[in-house]
Amino acid sequence: MRVLMFGPPGAGKGTQAALLVKKYNLKHISTGNILREVIRSKTETGSIARAYMDDGKLVPDDIIKKLAEKAIASCGFDQFILDGYPRTTEQAKWLNLFLEKHNLTLDIIVSLKVPDEVIVQRLSRRRVHAVTGENYHLDFKPPSPDVDPDDIIQRSDDHPETIRERLRVYHKQTKPVEAFYINDPNYVKIDGTQGLDHINDLIASKLMV
Ligand code: ADP
Ligand code: ADP
């Protein structure tokens, strides 16, 4: 099974991907998570990526292309969820060619729709687990009491000014990517303001068809 999660930052792509990973035993390919790992490894690529991410800008396509290709190949070209990739038309063109070359199709392309004002509210209240990377929300998905509060951190790009810049970047560079998928028979548009579990059930029901 091959899944693509599309949507603005804060739409719930990572949250839904994590639920689908558990349900269908898939590999979660989040270019954001991969980039944060690269940054932790203190390589030159990591320091280049960090500068873009801290500014709320997209990391250059050539870096993303290499990381995405490696991640898809490492799971044997199957059983994966793409989350936060592709984010530019260049990346989408490249992904199409890559899938064609390997004779692959996407089983579902989920587009989560969430208005900007909800996104600002979500991202400013998002927290992540420093070790596991699990996503939380202070109101809608608070960490359970057994989680050490010292492990709960706020991402450096989840601050009001950077959130606004990421939204600008989304509308300019990423939203146009949706045109690549809108006529695909496996494209599904979902209102991302609904409850987490309900959205997950909707996605699962589309996968069963
Ligand atoms: P969010 O969950 O808020 O959508 P991500 O964790 O997916 O954020 O991404 C964090 C940052 O990493 C982005 O703002 C961007 O700088 C960079 N990034 C992630 N994926 C890509 C991509 N496919 N292309 C370019 N930059 C990316
Ligand atoms: P993305 O990966 O698209 O950037 P996340 O999955 O990290 O988005 O979700 C952003 C924030 O919104 C997180 O704090 C998450 O807990 C919360 N969230 C995700 N889905 C929902 C939802 N359906 N309702 C309310 N909050 C949600």
Taking CA atoms only, the protein residue closest to ligand 2 atom 25 is 140
From CA 37, how far away is CA 22, in angstroms rounded?
A: 21
Cβ–ligand 2 contact at 10 (below 6 Å): yes
CB burial of residue 7 (10 Å; 0-12, 13-18, 19+): buried
Query: Which amino acid residue places its CA nearest to atom 20 of ligand 2?
Result: 12
Mutate to test the pocket of ligand 1, among 31, 83, 135, 156 (most ligand atoms within 8 A of CB): 31
50 part of the active site: no
pLDDT confidence of residue 16: 97
As a whole number of angstroms, the longest Cα–Cα distance in the chain is 48
Domain CATH number, residue 62 = 3.40.50.300
- Using a 6 Å cutoff on CB, does residue 31 contact ligand 1? yes
Residue type, 82: L
What is the position in ligand 2's atom list of the atom closest to the CA of 17? Answer: 6
pLDDT in tens, 30-66: 999 999 999 999 999 999 999 999 999 999 999 999 9
Number of domains in the chain: 1
Domain that residue 94 falls in: 2-207
The pair of structure tokens assigned to 124 is 């400013």
Cα end-to-end span (Å), the chain: 13
Q: How would you classify the pairing of strands 2-6 and 108-113? A: parallel
> What letter would DSSP give residue 162?
H
Q: How confident is the model at residue 208 (pLDDT cuts 50, 70, 90)?
A: confident
Residue for token digits 């558990």?
Answer: 22
Using pLDDT thresholds of 50, 70 and 90, give the confidence band for residue 89: very high
Query: Residue 21's closest CA among 204, 208, 206?
Result: 204
Cα angle for residues 21, 66, 63 (degrees, 5° grid): 105
| 8 close to 170: Cβ distance less than 8 angstroms | yes
Q: Please determine, for residue 209, whether its predicted confidence score (pLDDT) is greater than 80.
A: no
Residue 184 has pLDDT above 90, yes or no: yes
Ligand 1 centroid–CA 191 distance in Å is 21
